[in-house]
Amino acid sequence: MTWFKKDVFYPVGQEIPFNSKNRYTSLDKKTIASTSVGQWRLSFLIFAFSLAFFILISRLFYLTVIKKKPILITKEPPAFMMQRGNILDRNGVILATDLPIVDLFVDGKFVSNAQTETQKLLEIFPDLDFEKTYKKIKSKSRFTYLKRNLTPTEQYAVNHLGFPSLNFSTREKRIYPQNELFSHILGLTDVDNNGLSGIEKAFNRDLKIHHKNVQLSVDVNVQDMVRETLLKYIEKFEATGGLSVVMNVDTQEVLALVSLPDYNPNTFEIPSKDAFFNKASLGVYEFGSIMKVFSVALGLKTGKITPDDEIDATKPFKMAHYYISDYHAKNRMLKVPEVLIYSSNIGSSKIALMAGTENQKEFLTDLGFLEPLDIELPEKAHPMYPKVWRDINTATISYGYGMSTSPLHIMSGLSALVNGGLYRAPTFLLGGNKNKPLRRILSPKMSEEIHYMMRAVSDIGSGKNANVKGYLIGGKTGSAEMQDERGRYISGSLRTSFIAAFPMNSPKYALMVMLENPKKSAETFWYNTSGWNAVPCAGEIIQKIAPYLGVSPQSELEKPPYIEAAYVIKEKEKH
């Protein structure tokens, strides 16, 4: 490097001459200026870097000392969503939901003392087997389940042990908070959370893929009252099973459906075949005398009878090698309402024969009795009826033999008879029937005539044990022999049923109770027909659910002449 002034060169090391008058004699102005800029730039850079470091240190101090931040979370949590949506009752009560469940597993790599760890675990889980648990902990496997479905308290206790080998894995489990109460409606899911039966299966797509909630028409309180009462009567009469259905007759919404025995879907035990079977929607049965109310409706619809008419029930009659007779034979002319009040097989058969086989078949088809119901549940019954429908079939079907349908079929038919004559298949969804068309099967006048007749059955006929004063219950009893798997009648067995509607001045709800094989007892005067078991059971159910459903007490109906006449005859016969 050299310093220079004009043409004078000063080699490095040579002293530059100093002139006091002119300080810059040895360096020209340009050189001096550039030196000064360099110094300034250097100072600026030092300042800038110092400032930058000061800012960084200040920031570091702020972040680490003043505002201690947690470790940065870089992974965004998923939107909260359980694998399956909830199933709710009509009031929004949860009937089925997914809950996070914790399982305990052992990582063999970190086990320090298998003996101690096993002993400590057994203090928390006394139900664990020492030998098995010890063997699992001692194995060097990196993942062995020790206990499934831990409660939060158990998880806390295991954490508190502080063993690094004990870890948790989480998963989702389908939970049914009401336990067995809705087992047949809700159904089950498998280990992969796929619906296996019931609503879980029917709405698997909505629940699992779209994560939607499904709101049912059932009411948890009505269901509980129905189940509790039915269970009581099954135990009382030592019946092998039973069912009950409550339905809104205007909307055809099912409010309760109980089929007993049932099962608890929360347990891992596989339910028995009988407990798993939904009798109300999948079972098909001969219902006996219950069918007579449909036969009378058929007679009214075809115009072959009016409520004032009389039917000859003076003696049994023979058809195709069979004698058709009455259980409570009056051996006289019966008024049409009396055919129901005294449950006359003869009267019912004669009405059906008057209406004709084709009309009967058409009427039962209109009522939906001859095909599977259009319901949401996958467990749908296929009715059984004669392939060749002869007159004898017409006669026996009129009083409930020779055709098998499900209780839900009967309930939807009954709703149509009492709601003014409009048929629509039942639904398990809240408002699920809004878009389904209604089909007229009976005129409102005929429906009203049925009201009076059913009310008379419950007042002075076989259904009087269900007569809760004030609720104007109308009904029809039915008792039929049970069949084995091959369809043969089991001697001495009986399936007793009762269908009812209330309040009969303007029916809002329909109910069905069925008991399988109820036993006779001294209390029932050694009878086991419907009037002694299913009927009082229905009465008690109505007594419980009517106030809850907002059914207020009603005064007795004004009896039309044809009903009044039946009452008068009954009174005369008493004396």
Partner 1 sequence: MNKLTINLVLSFVAFISSIGMYVLKGEVKSLETEHLLLQRKIFQTKEEIHVLEAEKSYLSSPERLKFLGEKVGALQETSVKQLYSFSLKKDEPFSPFTLASFKTLKKEDE
Site residues, partner 1 (CB under 8 A): 48, 55, 59, 69-70, 72-80, 82, 93-95, 97, 99-100, 175, 177-179, 181, 220-221, 224-225, 228, 468-471, 543-544, 546-548, 552-555
**13 or 100, CB closer to partner 1?**
100
Q: What stretches of 181-279 adopt beta strand conformation (E)?
A: 214-215, 241-248, 254-260
Shortest Cβ 472–partner 1 spacing (Å): 11
Report how far residue 175's alpha carbon sits from residue 177's, in angstroms, rounded to the nearest whole number.
Answer: 6
b/e 230-264 (16+ beta carbons within 10 angstroms → b):
beebbebbebbbbbbbbbbbbbbbbbbbbbbbbbe
Helix (H) or strand (E) holding 98: strand 94-106
Shortest Cβ 447–partner 1 spacing (Å): 21
Shortest Cβ 470–partner 1 spacing (Å): 4
- The helix/strand/coil state of 502 is strand
Residue 5 Rama label (left phi>0; alpha psi -120 to 50; beta): beta
Residue 260 Cα to chain centre, angstroms = 15
Report how far residue 245's alpha carbon sits from residue 238's, in angstroms, rounded to the nearest whole number.
Answer: 20
Report how far residue 77's alpha carbon sits from residue 319's, in angstroms, rounded to the nearest whole number.
Answer: 76
Report how far residue 564's alpha carbon sits from residue 307's, in angstroms, rounded to the nearest whole number.
Answer: 12
**60 or 196, CB closer to partner 1?**
60
Is there a contact between 157 and 147 (Cβ–Cβ < 8 Å)? Answer: no
DSSP character at residue 89? -
Report how far residue 274's alpha carbon sits from residue 184's, in angstroms, rounded to the nearest whole number.
Answer: 11
289 as an active site residue: the answer is: yes
Shortest Cβ 43–partner 1 spacing (Å): 13
**46 or 99, CB closer to partner 1?**
99
Shortest Cβ 428–partner 1 spacing (Å): 19
Q: What stretches of 332-421 adopt beta strand conformation (E)?
A: 332-335
Cross-strand bridge partners of residue 105? 145, 167
Report how far residue 466's alpha carbon sits from residue 460's, in angstroms, rounded to the nearest whole number.
Answer: 11
Shortest Cβ 21–partner 1 spacing (Å): 30
**210 or 469, CB closer to partner 1?**
469
Shortest Cβ 97–partner 1 spacing (Å): 5
**Catalytic residue of the set 217, 289, 404, 447:** 289
**82 or 284, CB closer to partner 1?**
82
- Cβ neighbours around 442 below 10 Å, total: 25
How far, CA to CA in Å, does 302 sit from each of 289, 469, 561?
A: 20, 34, 22
- Cβ neighbours around 524 below 10 Å, total: 18
Report how far residue 507's alpha carbon sits from residue 541's, in angstroms, rounded to the nearest whole number.
Answer: 16
**72 or 522, CB closer to partner 1?**
72
**300 or 473, CB closer to partner 1?**
473
Shortest Cβ 70–partner 1 spacing (Å): 7
DSSP character at residue 518? P
Show which residues are catalytic: 289
